[in-house]
C-alpha cells in the first residue's frame, strides 16, 4: 500500500477516532507531510519505538503504540507469561500517561495482567519493579533526552534488562505481523474488575530506595560531611525530582538546591533547547544557581532519569568544570572499586563491563585492580545481559558497568543505567574526597595522572526523513567498502566490521565499524538506533589535559573531513 492509500485508510476507517481524522484533514494539501507520516510504519526496532507524536503510521500515537503492544502481547502469550504480567512506567512527556494506559489495556484485552505506576517514575525503577513483581516483561513510555515532540516505548524482559538478541528480533517479528486495525483493547473499568489492570504505588518506591541505600560504602563519611557538601540538582522537568531528592535527604545531605525553574514536570521542556545532560547549554540555570549557592557539585538527570550529567568545582580557579559521561562513570568506578579493594571486599572474580565506544580508561582501571574487562555492543541492555550471564554461570561477579552516553550502574538492583543511583554515588564520593581536602575535579585529575589522560569525543550528523535514512546508509556503505588507512596523522592499526558477526568479533551482528588507531587512539562509526543520526565516536590518550585535548581536536578534524 502506498502512502496516499494509507493516508486515505486512516481518514475513512471507523477504527480511527475523529480527533485523529481531524488532524489528518489538516494536512491534506501538504503532500510532503503526508508522505513523511505514511511512507512507512513507525519501525519497532531492537530498542522498541521512538518517533514524533502525531497522527499517521510513521508517528507515535495510540494506534502505533497499540500495535506494538499487541505484538508484545502475542510474544508474552507464546512464552506463557500471561499470569506473570507486564509492568509499565512512563515519564513526563506529552501522551506518556495515555500511551501507558493504551499498553496496559491492550495487555488486558489479551488476558495479560498489567501493572502500571500511579505517576511518572524513572526508567531504572521500572527495571527494578518488574523483577520485584516477577513480571515476564516491562515497558517504559519515554523518549529519554529527545526534543519535546518525541515519545517512545522501550521493552524489557523478566531479567530487568531491555530485550536483546534473539528476543528483540522475535518480538519485532511478532509486531510486524500485526495489522494496525486488529490490535486489541479493553474498557478500563472492565480491566480493573477482572484484575487485569493493577496500580503500582509508593511501596515500590520504598523498596527501590532501600536497595540503593544498600550500595552506600561509607555512611559514616556522609554523616560527618553532609553539612559541608552543597549540591545543586536539576531533574530537567523529569522523573528524577522525587527519588533524587528523597535519597539525598534520607542519606543526610542537608544542602541540596533544586533548580526551581526545572523542578516540576513540563512536557514542553520550556527552559531547555534539548533536555540532554550531554548539552552544556542545558546547565545554564543550574550553573547560575551553583554560583549563588557556592555549590561543590552540579547534577542533572535527563527526563527518564537514567542519564546523569555533572559539573564540579575546580579548587584552583573556582570555575565549574564539565564531566563527560566517561569521566563521571570512571570517577564513580574508581571510587567504588578502589574502596572495595581497600576494605577487602573486591571479589576475586570481579568484572567491569563497558561498551565498545566507552573510554579505554576503563581498561586501565580494570587492569590496575585485577578485574576482568568485558566489552559489549553499544547500548546498556548488553551490560544488563552480562549481569544475567554472570549470575547464571556463577563464574564471575559484576562490579561496575558504564557507557559513554552518561549512563552507569553500581549494583544489580536494576539492569539498566540508573541516574538516581549515580547521583547517590557521586554525592557520597564528593563527601569522601572533600574530607580528604579534594573536589571531584581534583580527584578526576588524580585519576588522569594515575592512568593517563584519556579523552573522548563524538561527531554527529543528523539526516532526517526518507532521504536522510538513505544518506546514512550511503555513508556507512562508503566507509565499509573503502575504509580509510589513516585518520589525519594517525595510522589505522586494525579495522573491524561488526557486521561480520560473532565468529570474527565475538559479539552479535551489528552495523558498526571500528578503527583501532596508533598512539592509543580509536574511532567508531554507527547509525543511531533511536534517532536519524550517524555517530562518529573517538578517543585519544595524552600526557596532560592540554595534550589530550589537542590530539582529540586533530582526530575530530580528520573524522569531519572523512565524513
User: Catalytic positions, please?
Assistant: 144
Is the Cβ–Cβ distance between 417 and 408 less than 8 Å? Answer: yes
Instruction: Check if the beta carbon of residue 389 is closer than 8 Å to that of residue 382.
Output: no
Do residues 497 and 513 touch, judged by C-beta distance below 8 A? yes
Question: Which residue in 235, 201, 190, 27 sits closest to 118, CA to CA?
Answer: 201
Ramachandran region, residue 506 (left: φ > 0; alpha: ψ -120 to 50; beta: rest): left
Give the closest residue to 313 by CA, choosing from 330, 299, 296.
296
Task: Starting at the earlier edge strand, list the strands of the sheet with 533-542.
Answer: 453-462, 533-542, 521-527, 513-517, 490-497, 486-487
Spatial CB neighbours of 299, under 8 Å, sequence gap ≥ 6: 231, 232, 233, 234, 244, 308, 309, 310, 423, 426, 427
SS3 144: coil
Burial of 261 (0-12, 13-18, 19+ CB in 10 A): middle
**89, 104 contact by CB (below 8 A):** no
- Reduced to 3 states (helix: H, G, I; strand: E, B; else coil), residue 164 is coil
* Residue in this structure with the C-alpha cell 540508573, named with its chain if needed: 418
- Whether 52 contacts 148, CB under 8 Å: no
45: which DSSP letter? B
Q: How far apart are CA 397 and CA 422, in angstroms?
A: 20
Q: Tell me which residue has cell 527519588.
A: 243
- Kind and range of the H or E element at 87? strand 86-90
Judge contact between 104 and 199, C-beta under 8 A. no
> Residue 276 — φ and ψ, nearest 5°?
-125, 120
Kind of pairing between the strands at 114-117 and 197-200: parallel
Instruction: Please state, in angstroms and rounded to a whole number, the distance separating the CA atoms of residues 457 and 104.
Output: 40
Distance CA 76, CA 133 (A): 16
Amino acid at each position: 500500500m502506498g502512502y496516499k492509500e494509507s493516508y486515505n485508510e486512516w481518514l475513512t476507517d471507523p477504527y480511527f477516532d475523529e480527533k485523529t481524522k481531524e488532524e489528518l484533514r489538516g494536512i491534506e494539501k501538504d503532500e510532503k507531510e503526508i508522505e513523511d507520516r505514511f511512507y512507512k510504519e513507525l519501525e519497532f526496532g531492537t530498542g522498541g519505538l521512538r518517533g514524533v507524536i502525531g497522527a499517521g503510521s510513521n508517528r507515535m500515537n495510540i494506534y502505533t503504540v497499540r500495535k506494538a503492544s499487541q505484538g508484545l502481547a502475542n510474544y508474552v502469550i507464546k512464552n506463557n507469561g500471561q499470569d506473570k504480567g507486564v509492568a509499565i512506567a512512563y515519564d513526563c512527556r506529552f501522551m506518556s500517561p495515555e500511551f501507558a494506559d493504551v499498553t496496559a489495556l491492550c495487555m488486558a484485552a489479551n488476558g495479560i495482567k498489567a501493572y502500571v505506576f500511579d505517576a511518572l517514575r524513572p526508567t531504572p525503577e521500572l527495571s527494578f519493579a518488574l523483577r520485584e513483581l516477577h513480571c515476564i516483561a516491562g515497558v517504559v513510555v519515554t523518549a529519554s533526552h529527545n526534543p519535546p515532540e518525541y515519545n517512545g516505548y522501550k521493552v524489557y524482559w523478566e531479567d530487568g534488562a531491555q530485550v536483546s538478541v534473539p528476543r528483540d528480533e522475535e518480538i519485532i517479528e511478532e509486531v510486524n505481523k500485526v495489522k494496525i486495525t486488529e490490535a486489541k483493547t479493553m474498557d478500563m473499568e472492565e480491566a480493573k474488575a477482572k484484575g487485569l489492570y493493577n496500580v503500582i504505588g509508593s511501596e515500590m518506591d520504598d523498596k527501590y530506595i532501600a536497595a540503593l541505600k544498600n550500595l552506600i560504602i561509607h555512611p559514616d563519611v556522609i554523616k560527618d560531611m553532609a553539612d559541608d557538601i552543597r549540591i545543586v540538582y536539576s531533574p530537567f522537568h523529569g522523573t528524577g525530582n522525587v527519588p533524587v531528592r528523597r535519597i539525598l535527604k534520607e542519606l543526610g545531605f542537608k544542602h541540596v538546591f533544586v533548580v526551581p525553574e526545572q523542578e516540576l514536570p513540563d512536557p514542553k521542556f520550556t527552559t531547555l533547547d534539548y533536555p540532554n545532560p550531554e548539552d552544556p547549554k542545558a546547565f545554564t540555570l543550574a550553573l547560575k544557581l551553583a554560583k549563588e549557592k557556592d555549590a561543590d557539585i552540579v547534577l542533572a538527570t535527563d527526563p527518564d532519569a537514567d542519564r546523569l550529567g555533572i559539573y564540579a568545582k575546580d579548587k584552583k580557579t573556582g570555575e565549574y568544570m564539565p564531566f563527560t559521561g566517561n569521566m563521571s562513570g570512571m570517577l564513580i568506578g574508581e571510587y567504588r572499586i578502589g574502596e572495595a579493594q581497600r576494605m577487602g571486599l573486591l571479589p576475586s572474580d570481579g568484572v567491569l563491563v563497558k561498551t565498545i565506544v566507552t573510554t579505554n580508561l576503563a581498561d586501565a582501571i580494570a587492569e590496575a585492580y585485577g578485574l576482568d574487562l568485558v566489552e559489549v555492543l553499544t547500548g546498556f541492555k548488553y551490560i544488563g545481559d552480562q549481569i544475567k550471564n554472570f549470575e547464571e554461570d556463577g563464574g564471575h561477579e559484576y562490579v561496575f558497568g558504564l557507557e559513554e552516553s552518561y549512563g552507569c550502574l553500581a549494583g544489580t538492583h536494576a539492569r539498566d543505567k540508573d541516574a538516581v543511583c549515580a547521583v547517590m554515588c557521586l554525592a557520597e564520593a564528593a563527601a569522601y574526597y572533600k574530607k580528604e581536602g579534594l573536589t571531584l575535579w581534583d580527584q578526576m585529575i588524580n585519576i588522569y595522572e594515575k592512568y593517563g589522560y584519556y579523552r573522548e569525543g563524538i561527531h554527529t550528523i543528523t539526516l532526517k526523513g526518507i532521504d536522510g535514512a538513505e544518506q546514512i546508509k550511503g555513508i556507512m556503505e562508503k566507509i565499509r567498502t573503502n575504509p580509510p588507512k589513516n585518520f589525519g596523522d594517525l595510522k589505522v592499526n586494525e579495522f573491524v566490521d561488526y557486521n561480520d558477526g560473532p565468529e570474527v568479533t565475538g559479539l552479535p551482528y551489528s552495523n558498526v565499524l571500528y578503527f583501532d588507531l596508533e598512539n592509543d587512539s580509536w574511532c567508531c562509526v554507527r547509525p543511531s538506533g533511536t534517532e536519524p543520526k550517524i555517530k562518529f565516536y573517538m578517543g585519544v590518550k595524552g600526557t596532560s589535559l592540554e595534550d589530550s585535548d589537542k590530539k582529540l581536536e586533530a582526530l575530530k578534524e580528520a573524522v569531519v573531513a572523512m565524513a
